[in-house]
């Protein structure tokens, strides 16, 4: 099977799952505006904002049982799939990197991060365990952790598949 075709199929399935999960959660929030929600686990009340207080570039709540869009805003806009990219970075990191190994935070990994980026809070020159970077990637959605892991994955990939090699 062609690797590009397999990767594309995997990404489409991952994207479909992520979007479906987002839509289900969004539908629950939209149908309970202004109410407090709680689970039976001793959790404190969670205030849910009214729809007019939700600010995002695009959303779409689709009712799969009826086939209709319940509510949407700019549903056909193309938006950057940052969270899906981070999930793929996590998967590649788990495949190519040893979680107990340490990676050094490079200047290039921190360069270009916007002032409003979500960050793990790592510093240039710091040596951080891959497992800690994975937590920093997935919990606070740290762009700095994503960049360090991405650099580590690229290095590991080229060590495994040297240029000009026929191992793929």
Q: What is the pLDDT of residues 91-140, one digit of tens each?
A: 999 999 999 999 999 999 999 888 888 889 999 999 999 999 999 999 88
pLDDT above 80 for 17: no
107 DSSP 8-state letter: H
> Of 16-30, 96-110, 142-156, where does mean pLDDT reach its minimum?
16-30
Here the tokens at position 37 are 């929600």
Identify which of 33, 74, 68 has the alpha carbon closest to the alpha carbon of residue 54. 33
Task: List active site positions.
Answer: 83, 86, 141
């Amino acid at each position: 099977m062609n690797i590009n075709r397999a990767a594309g199929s995997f990404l489409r399935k991952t994207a479909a799952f992520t979007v479906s999960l987002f839509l289900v959660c969004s539908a629950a929030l939209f149908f309970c505006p202004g109410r407090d929600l709680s689970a039976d686990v001793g959790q404190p009340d969670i205030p849910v904002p009214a729809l007019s207080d939700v600010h995002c570039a695009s959303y779409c709540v689709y009712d799969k049982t009826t086939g209709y869009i319940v509510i949407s805003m700019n549903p056909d806009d193309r938006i950057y799939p940052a969270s899906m990219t981070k999930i793929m970075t996590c998967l590649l990191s788990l495949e190519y990197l040893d979680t107990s190994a340490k990676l050094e935070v490079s200047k290039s990994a921190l360069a270009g991060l916007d002032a409003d980026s979500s960050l793990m809070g790592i510093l240039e020159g710091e040596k951080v365990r891959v497992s800690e970077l994975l937590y920093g990637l997935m919990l606070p959605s740290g762009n700095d952790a994503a960049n360090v892991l991405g650099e580590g994955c690229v290095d590991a990939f080229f060590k495994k598949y040297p240029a000009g090699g026929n191992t793929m």
